[in-house]
Structure 1
Amino acid sequence: MTDKTMVAEEAVAATAAVPYNAVTTYAKLVKAYPFIQIADTCVNAEIVTISAMGYVRRGAHLLQLDLVLPAQTARDKGPVPAVVLVHGGGWRSGERGNMAPLAARLAARGIAAAVIDYRLADEARYPAAIHDVKAALRWLRANSAAHGIDPQRIAVAGGSAGGQIASLVGVTNGADKFDADGAASIVSSAAQAVINIDGLSDFTSPAARANEDDPKKKPSAAGFWFGASYADAAALWREASPTSYVNRDTPPMLFIGSGQARFSVGRDDMVDKLHAAGVAAQVVMLPDSPHSFWLFDPWITPTADAMAGFLTTQLPIPTTTRQQP
């Protein structure tokens, strides 16, 4: 991928005026990757989609999700694992439909997926998005029985900015600052596993700040989300860095990376911390792929395979819920 193409792709993801979706991203990538195709939701399996379900109200804004489920016959065999999918777009753009093709492929592999809205930076700055994703986890767990989902096997995953959000959500279970709805609910917002697809793990590292704190961007995507530069709010940038929270109770984590290292800064250090804490951590790389690879063939299939394999391994069926012969 050329530097020019990568800069153009980043601009699409980070600018609120330009929609960040598969169509706009394809237009930026197709010259460098003429073989790519926009992924769709057609899969060679029976799946069920329930669209536009409200999961939490923030003022006048009812945040919604689309729930994509394995076939009823699969759910009849026992409750299935699930994952909340968080779209990317530089914290300021993007739409939940970006994750629908990935959700369909996960459902075809026996994993339910909730594709969610959350408040973008133009509506509400950090940490509003974190509050929203935790509310989605809470909603999915509270409504799990109605949809054949196992409430003890719910993960969170996201791509790009959504990967950073998903990671921060997953590693801050029990932190009141990040769970606006927790005090009023007995339903947990915990995630039993986390998947970060090409998202930052450390905003404070020099490599991340070279892009996310660049004064020429007036402000950068992260700077707009935080409402302040690193120099003015270093503690806030550190607070939003998932790597700051690793401990022995951190859930298992999978990192799926593109060929563009700058989008997953902090990943290797975080993996080292996870291993040192005795937490399962796996990295899957897709060489020569662009950022936003999960929106396109040929990369969406290995992405779904890696996610399904990881969740199957890390969210095994509890003995108490296994069907008896």
Structure 2
Amino acid sequence: MPVLSAVLAAALVATPPCVEPPADPSNTYDVPHTYEKLVREFPFIQIASDALPDGVTKLADQVYAQYGARCLKLDAYLPAGERLPVVVFVHGGGWKAGFRSEFVPMALRLTQRGYAAVTVSYRLSGEAPYPAAVQDVQQAVRWVRAHARQLHIDPQRIVLAGGSAGGQIAALAGVTGKDGAEVQAIINIDGLSDFTSELALKYEDDPKKNPSSAGAWFGGRYADQPARWREASPIRYVRAGMPPILFIGSAQPRFSAGREQMMAQMTQLGVASDKLLLPDTPHSFWLFDPWLQPTVEASVAFLRRQLP
């Protein structure tokens, strides 16, 4: 694929004036802070590189949605090729924090395996409650599909992937996508599948947290907003013909809530699913080597099986 011309880049970014909100100093779910928390227990870890490989074009700060003067942006990472499959990444951060840069290292490693990749920002819970983030991610998928020709990607091979809260959002957006937001596969990395399970409620509805991260996103505890807690659980949407899902999990059981039950239901309906569990790993393992590479390898193997 030729390098995107200045004319094409300008055409893609041509939008009415809009801004992103200023950086929130309380938003500390990022790679440096996470590394500081984990390196004492895991002294062998290294922050995965985000250096742009040769032959990969970065198309930064594309506005995919706008609410008044508020912009939502994404970055595209495009290797050489035509009609490439594309993976759209959704960052984590407890629905209240995080940055799209979280998934740049994984995105770049996928570009070296023949995939285009996109990292997206979305409205966090402090700005807009559920289901805004899910709707934003679905709108990002629509934008990617609408710009398939310019980006040299295949509009019929779009994948949603995410980690932690982003894994849950990606799964929910993927299993409920319609009107151009349909995807052909999902990769859920340590994201919840059932908010109403006993395991999820133990942590996500903890009365000592007022509110919990999930409670802040839903606008109330489970007893106050049971319909939202159920509606946001990807397991509620298992059906024949849904996208296949790869689950990649840490050694922290908290984040597997609903996974086994969802996989069992999918199997009964003939829907493909697979999982990779990485032993002795913390949450947010995908930010670091040596754990990122097996995450990438499992993702590539799954996508090669599932995408035509």
TM (norm. structure 1) is 0.85
Q: C-alpha displacement at 1:16, in angstroms?
A: 8.1
Q: Secondary structure at the match of 1:214?
A: coil
Residues 187-206 of structure 1 show CA distances to partners (whole Å, capped at 9, x for unaligned) of: x1101101100000000001
Residues 63-92 of structure 1 show CA distances to partners (whole Å, capped at 9, x for unaligned) of: 10010111x2xx1xx311001100000000
Who is 1:243 aligned against? 235
Determine the C-alpha separation between the residues in 2 that align with 1:22 and 1:284: 23
Q: C-alpha displacement at 1:125, in angstroms?
A: 0.3
* 1:26 maps to which of 23, 35, 38: 35
Aligned ranges 1:295-314 → 2 under 5 Å: 295-314=287-306
Who is 1:5 aligned against? none
Where in structure 2 are there 5+ consecutive unaligned residues? 1-23
Determine the C-alpha separation between the residues in 1 that align with 2:25 and 2:136: 19
Of 302-311 and 250-259, more deviation after overlay is shown by 302-311
* 1:42 maps to which of 21, 46, 51: 51
Q: Which amino acid aligns with 1:105?
A: R
Who is 2:148 aligned against? 144
Q: Which amino acid aligns with 1:27?
A: E
Determine the C-alpha separation between the residues in 1 that align with 2:52 and 2:36: 24
Q: Is the 8 A contact 1:16 1:93 kept in 2?
A: no
Q: C-alpha displacement at 1:58, in angstroms?
A: 2.0
Number of equivalent positions: 285
Who is 2:252 aligned against? 260
Determine the C-alpha separation between the residues in 1 that align with 2:27 and 2:107: 24
Determine the C-alpha separation between the residues in 2 that align with 1:238 and 1:53: 33
Determine the C-alpha separation between the residues in 2 that align with 1:168 and 1:239: 9
Aligned ranges 1:127-276 → 2 under 5 Å: 127-174=131-178, 182=179, 188-276=180-268
Who is 2:21 aligned against? none
Q: C-alpha displacement at 1:107, in angstroms?
A: 0.7
Q: Which amino acid aligns with 1:112?
A: A
Q: Secondary structure at the match of 1:216?
A: coil
Who is 2:12 aligned against? none
Determine the C-alpha separation between the residues in 2 that align with 1:165 and 1:100: 18
Who is 2:68 aligned against? 59
Who is 2:284 aligned against? 292
Q: C-alpha displacement at 1:215, in angstroms?
A: 1.1
Q: C-alpha displacement at 1:46, in angstroms?
A: 2.8
Determine the C-alpha separation between the residues in 2 that align with 1:58 and 1:281: 36
Q: Is the 8 A contact 1:43 1:105 kept in 2?
A: no
Determine the C-alpha separation between the residues in 1 that align with 2:294 and 2:53: 16
- Segments ≥4 residues shifted beyond 6 Å: none
